[in-house]
Structure 1
Amino acid sequence: MSQSGSPLLTRFFNQPILLLVLTTLFWGGNTIAGRLAIGEVSPMAVVLLRWIAVSGLLLVLYGRQVRAEWPTLRRHLPILIAMGMFGFTAFNALFYIAAHSTTAVNLGIIQGSMPMFVLLGALVILRTPIRPLQALGVLVTMAGVAFIAAQGDLSRLAGLEVNIGDALMIIACLLYSLYAVLLRKRPPVSGMVFFTVLAVIAAITSVPLFAMEVAQGALQWPTPKGWLVIAYISVFPSCLSQIFFMRGVELVGPGRAGVFINLVPIFSSLLAVSLLGEPFHMYHAAALCLVLVGIALSERKSRKAATAI
């Protein structure tokens, strides 16, 4: 990714740690936006308007490149549709619905377990073997997710007393893991062209969900505050985070960049407590520790190998 602007902008885009920290901060802020949207705009309206805004902007900036690389993109259209539908549309639809029934702290911690869902998805879909240390990491992380879903009382799981919002967020993570696994089969095109096409697909596949919301009489058009929430979601988690993350991967590689995803539940928790006044219970701390320890265990060997290389 080349930067042809000012020296200050060029220097900024050559700071991988700063770019990746901002990426996870914006993703953590998305959990706050999901909660702030309640009563201001309905979930499917958020999803549709978000992707219309993002895809419109990207088409203006990269439309010519999309047309130039269309022959390659067209050959991979089925997998692109699946990735946009599951990773962008379905994940975000469930995310914003879940925000109505659970806290931003819970959303962030469950979302922080995403690397483990991706690891399991790679095992099921690509038959990628899991090392013993990775398996232990999966178990520890899943224990953290279960602790959150049970609100610190594991006996609730026996009676299936799980918060619907937490359950929807777990399903959302499973769908996003499918998207992440399919990234290994992405077409050989530039990152921004790839992102532009997925954003357009997300906008198109959001329309049926929006129509269902209208048919059910659940549509709430954005209030002034709702428009501000959509503006934040469109600019920061949707656009800038994707650009910053792709640049971070370009600078330090996917392994090192992926470690920064561990910051998402931390930022989510801090923002939820400070901005929304949400309570942070001991079971939140325990679950957060389990999630982070589990991810650290699964990445320990790969980080050592990356350092050796």
Structure 2
Amino acid sequence: MTALARRAFQGVVDNAYLLLILAPLMWGGNAVAGRLATLDWQPFTLTSARWLCAVIYLLPFAIGPLKRDWPILKSNLWLLFMLGGFGMAMFNLFMYWALSYTTAINVSIEQASMPMLIMLANFIFLSQRVRWLQIMGLLLTLFGVLVTATAGEPGRFLSEGLNRGDAIMLVGCLFYAGYTFGLRWRPAIHWMSFMWVISLSAFTITIPFAAWELAQVGFTMPSLGGWGVLVYVIIFPTLISQLAFARGVELIGGNRAGLFVNLVPIFGSILAVLILKEQFQWFHLVGLILVLAGITLAEKAAVKTA
């Protein structure tokens, strides 16, 4: 690497704001990739292939940290497998499944419900104090998701329920909220050990789903574009985004870095319009505004509580 390239690389890894914009951009692209994948991949098979490739790719880098962390890993394997199962396996499995039935824009906006679900879990299971502003934020966010999922007719929910894809995605969000809630008990191990073990967990848990799917519909060799989607979801949402976000947290702290996660529905919606040519309808805008307003209210209240 030349001196100029080294300086450029160092400039990127030391720029917290650039890293914290790139991470949600890649996560937003995951919904678009999942929608594109429906042309070539079955959702469960894609999820399993993604984590198998991640396990293989990460192993050479993880061997050293795994050896050093083994005494801690050994006593926390069940916790780590649960975290990988909830956050990496089930969330992505449900998201890719949902994208067979709904738009990438809907999925992107519905992901924004996760901070509110995490707040709710903290209240229910840890009895954390909740302020009225946080309750208002929760209700605004949930209403925004409902507006999006019912195409601007929330009254339809009472008579018809949710679209199948939107309902599946919201179940996936519950799994990811459970993963984030569980991170408070993450053992003090090297981040590479953590990534490899939860990737292995995700792959292991998705095997029976993929096996069932392949038994039902068989396997068709993906096109070149289908392989490209797999490469994207392995390199960007799985690996680089995690590194970028972790470095951003290291540079400016978790509280400030967490605000950038709110960019995921914005980037996801923009990419869906640009790449998939999906129509950004008025109810998407209303839903997005309600969701972001709800998150902002809740975060302001959380700062006051702290």
> Structure 2 length as normaliser, TM-score?
0.95
Aligned residues: 302
Q: Is the 8 A contact 2:24 2:260 kept in 1?
A: yes
The secondary structure found in structure 2 opposite 1:101 is coil
- 2:41 corresponds to: 41
CA contact (8 A) 2:85 2:201 kept: yes
- State the 1:303 CA deviation: 4.6
Give the unaligned 5+ runs of structure 2. none
Structure 1 residue 250 corresponds to structure 2 residue 243: no
Match of 2:59 in 1: 59
Q: 1:192 to 1:146 in 2, by over 3 A?
A: same
Partner of 1:112: 112
SS of corresponding position for 2:288: helix
Indicate whether 1:73 and 2:66 are aligned.
no
Q: Are positions 1:90 and 2:94 aligned together?
A: no
Q: Quick check: 209-218 or 87-96, which moved more?
A: 209-218
Contact (CA 8 Å) 1:94, 1:169: kept in 2 or not? yes
Say if 2:81 and 2:197, in contact at 8 Å, map to a contact too.
no
Deviation per CA, 1:119-152: give whole Å up to 9, x if none. 1122223332222211111111001011112111
TM-score norm. by structure 1 comes to 0.94
- CA distance in 1 between counterparts of 2:6 and 2:83 reads 35
Following TM superposition, the consecutive aligned residue runs of length 4 or more in structure 1 with deviations greater than 3 angstroms are: 218-221, 301-306
How far the C-alpha of 1:174 sits from its partner, in A, is: 0.5
- What SS is found at the alignment partner of 2:38? coil
The residue aligned with 2:210 is: 210
Q: 1:239 matched to which residue of 2?
A: 239
Residue 30 of structure 2 is matched in structure 1 by: 30
Give the whole-Å Cα distance in 2 for the aligned partners of 1:58 and 1:268. 27
* Contact 1:256-1:303 at 8 Å conserved across structures: no
CA distance in structure 1 between the partners assigned to 2:80 and 2:11 by the alignment: 33
Partner in structure 1 of residue 155 of structure 2: 155
CA distance in 2, matches of 1:49, 1:21: 27
CA RMSD of aligned residues (A): 1.6
Query: Cα offset for 1:36?
Result: 0.4
Distance 2:26 2:39 in 1: 22
Which secondary structure does the structure 2 equivalent of 1:6 belong to?
helix
Larger mean Cα displacement after TM superposition, 46-55 or 229-238: 46-55
Distance 1:304 1:19, change over 3 A: farther
CA contact under 8 A between 1:41 and 1:223: conserved in structure 2? no
Aligned counterparts of 1:248 and 1:41: Cα–Cα separation in 2: 33
Of residues 101-110 and 123-132 in structure 1, the stretch that sits farther from structure 2 once superposed is 123-132
Q: Deviations over 1:177-197 (max 9, x none)?
A: 000000000011122221121
